[in-house]
Amino acid sequence: MGAWAIAVHGGAGVDPNLPKERQEEAKRLLTRCLDIGISALRSNLPAIDVVELVVRELETDPLFNSGRGSALTENGTVEMEVSIMDGPKRRCGAVSGLTTVKNPVSLARLVMEKSPHSYLAFSGAEEFAKKQGVEMVDNEFFITEDNVGMLKLAKEANSILFDYRIPAVGTCGASAAMDSPLQMNGLPISVYAPETVGCVVVDKQGRCAAATSTGGLMNKMSGRIGDSPLIGSGTYASELCGVSCTGEGEAIIRSTLAREVSAVMEYKRLNLHEAVDYVIKNRLDEGKAGLIAVSKDGEVACGFNTTGMFRGCATEDGFMEVGVW
């Protein structure tokens, strides 16, 4: 019997001028999610059950960019995506382009357990959801007043907004997005702060699991798919570790960031902390991202090259920490 550990995140890349009230609100949500996960682990739930439970809670609360509160497409609609992975046998499930599924992470798990496939998207995923009897709601359920306002700013700036709630630093609006030095695939973007959510868990049996859920980018093209539903990029779990990533999706995809943590542990014989530090420093090129990870031995780690990352972690020995910067 080993020791359990859990970590959660609410996105990498935080506005340095983020109001204290918003920071504390995020910390309270992360703490609540940790408490839910800790209680489940103490009740001996397997890791895969715990990551689903915690991410469902994050999807239900509109604070972060997943489920209700997801970022809006250029058409003003929500298209959600998520993946989940169970380390022991590398089982996985993923979905993209969801518009009516209340808790996308649970549908991803059903893809893993109730379908012959690993990944379903758009109309096919929605049809599968209906057949599985999951709870479905109108797309308007996911749309918040804050996000409608941020989409308006994004359209006025003719920009994709990563920081989809906070206007660019030092400005009175989003027009500064056009002058941003940051780029995605060679194109200018605004201040970077996506707020995807994720959870990684190792249980007492040393089983690792991971899940990552998001609404994507504000003002994204309809049909855009990021790293979160891509196994090996946004999410990965093996017999060694579980990893959930957040940040510049295109950079995470190019680097297969989540899988890289497991790979360097296996092939370079690095421990978890060394592996996380190595991939953040050496695999992102000029991309900006962060990740959380657990190992089969009960270790927990996080890493990021952004101004901050909403995160929290806890271990069986009583350690618990929630942070932003």
Q: What Å distances lie between residue 307 and 22, 90, 154, 267, 290, CA to CA? A: 16, 33, 22, 30, 10
Q: Which DSSP symbol is given to 254?
A: H
Tell me which residues are annotated as active site. 196
**321 belongs to an annotated ligand binding site:** no
**248 belongs to an annotated ligand binding site:** yes
Q: Outline where the chain has alpha helix (H).
A: 20-42, 47-60, 104-114, 122-132, 145-157, 249-255, 257-267, 272-282
Which of helix, strand or coil describes residue 117?
coil
**165 belongs to an annotated ligand binding site:** no
**227 belongs to an annotated ligand binding site:** yes
**247 belongs to an annotated ligand binding site:** yes
In contact, 52 and 200? CB cutoff 8 Å: no
Q: What Å distances lie between residue 47 and 86, 208, 313, CA to CA? A: 8, 6, 15
Nearest to 246 by CA among 208, 178, 196, 284: 196
Cα 252 from Cα 260, distance rounded (Å): 10
**215 belongs to an annotated ligand binding site:** no
**224 belongs to an annotated ligand binding site:** yes
In contact, 43 and 230? CB cutoff 8 Å: no
Sequence ranges of the binding site: 224-227, 246-249
Which residue positions form the known binding site for substrate?
Answer: 224-227, 246-249
